[in-house]
Amino acid sequence: MITEASLRTHLDAQARPPGSLGRIEDLAVQLALIQQTATPRADRVTLLVFAGDHGLTEDGVSRYPSAVTQAMVATLLAGKATANAFARAVGAEVVIVDAGVDADLPTHPALIEAKVRKGTRNAAREPAMTQDEVGLALRRGAEQAEAAIARGAEILLLGEMGIGNSASAALLMHRLAPAPLADCVGAGAGHDAAGLAHKLAVLTRAAERSDATEPLEVLRQFGGLEIAMMAGAIHGAADCKTPVVVDGFICTAAALVAIRLRPEVRDACLFAHRSAEVGHDRMLKALGAEPLLNLGLRLGEGTGALLALPLLCAAAALMSEVANLDDVLAGRI
């Protein structure tokens, strides 16, 4: 069995000062422990972008209408979104998963049809999902992770697209971090002060509607279908001993759900970046997570996870490819 002690010993024996690569050494150890190999791999990487709509948009929690979700899914499938550009730059595959877009999407080679329903219900007025819908979304998320790994993915990246999903994520954080709701609600896709105040008022009504604190019930009351599927994908990746890279605020809310349901999957999660979205830093701290990057990002789509990928590739190469100091000194290189 691969142990942290044996991996640290291996790194300390390399032809460089012990500890000289700081957090990259920690990352190398984490990758090796997740994959349970002394030679971790990061050559084949898949970004799963889960898309879904939110009934909360009926009450104006976003400055954009739900129709933008479908439009952005089309942009991703056309290879013209920011995530596509970043994925080409770092050599990652992009797969879009329809978790609950409020439209019938045309077939596409890069689109997986996993729709549970056309958008969630309005969580300010009623539960967002039924128990059966929550269970189905979690299962389908795990299945998508397992399928990507079966196709050869050595690392999974998570991304999302869904107008209104920062509102859902804020409610999940409020109950599961937990944290005061006002500390969880940010500008999302670009609210001004008036829009932000309105968003907080709507989410306050939603929070007052249910006192749920148990993870599955919180997800049923407030969650998005794409958030539920990402939580399931984390479970699936962990079960397959595959690292899963968590993107920004919404993805971290999915990780929060996944970890509150199954605390052991925390070990499979790598947190890509600290978002500029209000509440993300506090949610990361609730998970004991120190992200790899801090670039002021707040786009989603998996863009932060893609930007963190070169660090993972370097960490894997560090563990696998650097010479032992004794071999260097003995002239065996």
Q: Identify the weakest region by mean pLDDT among 155-169, 174-188, 259-273.
A: 174-188
- The β-bridge partners of 52 are 100
- The β-bridge partners of 270 are 245
DSSP 8-state code for residue 296: -
Task: Note the helical H segments in the chain.
Answer: 4-12, 22-35, 67-77, 82-90, 131-150, 165-176, 193-209, 215-222, 225-239, 249-261, 280-286, 303-321, 325-329
- The β-bridge partners of 96 are 49, 111
Query: What pLDDT digit, counting tens, does each position of 169-203 carry?
Result: 999 999 999 999 999 998 766 678 888 899 999 99
pTM of this structure: 0.97
The set of residues, in sequence order, having a beta carbon less than 8 Å from that of 70 and lying 6+ positions away, is 101, 102, 103, 105
The set of residues, in sequence order, having a beta carbon less than 8 Å from that of 318 and lying 6+ positions away, is 11, 14, 21, 24, 25, 28
Supply the pLDDT for residue 301: 97
Query: What pLDDT digit, counting tens, does each position of 103-135 carry?
Result: 999 999 999 999 999 999 999 999 999 999 999
Size (the chain), residues = 333
Question: What span, in angstroms and rounded, lies between the C-alpha atoms of 49 and 52?
Answer: 10
Report the mean per-residue pLDDT for the chain.
Answer: 96
Query: What pLDDT digit, counting tens, does each position of 277-309 carry?
Result: 999 999 999 999 999 999 999 999 999 999 999
Question: What span, in angstroms and rounded, lies between the C-alpha atoms of 193 and 285?
Answer: 26
Question: What span, in angstroms and rounded, lies between the C-alpha atoms of 222 and 204?
Answer: 12
- Tell me the mean pLDDT in the region 56-62: 95
Supply the pLDDT for residue 63: 87
Question: What span, in angstroms and rounded, lies between the C-alpha atoms of 223 and 173?
Answer: 10
Catalytic residues: 301
> Domains in the chain, start-ordered, CATH in brackets?
4-39+319-329 (no CATH), 45-312 (3.40.50.10210)
DSSP 8-state code for residue 62: S
* Sheet arrangement for strand 111-113: 111-113, 93-100, 45-52, 155-161, 244-246, 269-271
- Helix 131-150 / helix 215-222 crossing angle, nearest 10 deg: 100
One-letter amino acid for residue 215 of the chain: P
- Tell me the mean pLDDT in the region 215-221: 98
Question: What span, in angstroms and rounded, lies between the C-alpha atoms of 176 and 142?
Answer: 21
